[in-house]
Amino acid sequence: MKLVSYNVNGVRAALKKGLLEWIEQSDFDVICLQETKSQPDQIDVSMFNNLGYHDYWHSAEKKGYSGVLTLTKEVPQSVVIGMNMEQYDREGRIVLTHFKDWSLVNVYIPSGSSGEERHAFKMEFVKDFGPWIQELKKDYPSLVVVGDYNIVHKELDIHNPQRKDKPSGYKPDERAWLEEWFTSGGFTDSFRHLYPEESLYSWWSYRAGARQRNKGWRIDYISVAGQMKDHLVECRMYKEVMHSDHCPVIATFDL
């Protein structure tokens, strides 16, 4: 089973840059897109359906903002949109799909980069998201949580770990939350599990040729719990795929 998580920074913009052709060539089983910035009636969803995908959207109330989309060739047994928490669900941040032997959460964790108010909102989100996931995991232990977490975990995951300003995404409180996620939270970081010492990034600023100079951050993750870790075969980031300021994270599972 081939799974991709990809913040496309606007699905309509990414389609103009060849996203659909890349999907067609890659033949993924499941595609999780974040920051779609789109409502399903704003694009021709038949382009995905014609490739064999069923589409499940959680769009923000605010047009051109946030949003997640899960595309899957297998019809899920059930689909849940959002966390049933209005303050977050109005921003379009979660699609949960249940399959026969495993479950998948596609999440776009808020960015706090616009100021202290949004950082506080981000920390509220993760503090509510964590317990929601833990409750979910009790009933669905073979759980995969993919998406743009907007948080750097280790110093190995940022090109300049010595920076003193501690910007959003690299603040101590959010990194502590992610450390707990990967320890007592019971999740395994798929990429770091397979490559404990390798530095690969999933996001680069558009400024100053950051991508060409590989001055990036790793903030997109495929987290696995339960038996899914035992089925993990590969997980990599693909910097050369460029439809966005992020790159795709692709994992393969032997199911």
pLDDT per residue as tens, the chain (255 positions): 999 999 999 999 999 999 999 999 999 999 999 999 999 999 999 999 999 999 999 999 999 999 999 999 999 999 999 999 999 999 999 999 999 999 999 999 999 988 899 999 999 999 999 999 999 999 999 999 999 999 999 999 999 999 989 999 999 999 999 999 999 999 999 999 999 999 999 999 999 899 999 999 999 999 999 999 999 999 999 999 999 999 999 999 999
Q: Which helix (H) or strand (E) holds 86?
A: helix 86-89
Encoding tokens for residue 165?
């300003």
Q: pLDDT value at position 164? A: 86
Q: pLDDT value at position 113? A: 87
Q: pLDDT value at position 222? A: 98
Within 10 Å of residue 24's Cβ, how many Cβ atoms? 14
Q: pLDDT value at position 247? A: 98
- Starting at the edge strand found earlier in the chain, the sheet holding 220-224 runs 78-81, 94-98, 103-108, 143-148, 220-224, 188-189
142 neighbors 100 (Cβ within 8 angstroms): no
Q: pLDDT value at position 115? A: 85
List the beta bridge partners of residue 57.
69
Helix (H, G, I), strand (E, B) or coil at 134: helix
Domains and CATH numbers, the chain: 2-253 (3.60.10.10)
How would you classify the pairing of strands 78-81 and 68-72? Answer: unpaired
What lies within 8 Å, CB to CB, of 76 at 6+ separation is 54, 56, 97, 98, 99
Residue closest to 178 by CA, chosen among 247, 109, 82: 109
Q: What pTM value is reported for the model?
A: 0.97
State the chain's mean pLDDT as an integer.
Answer: 97
- Return the active site residues: 108, 148
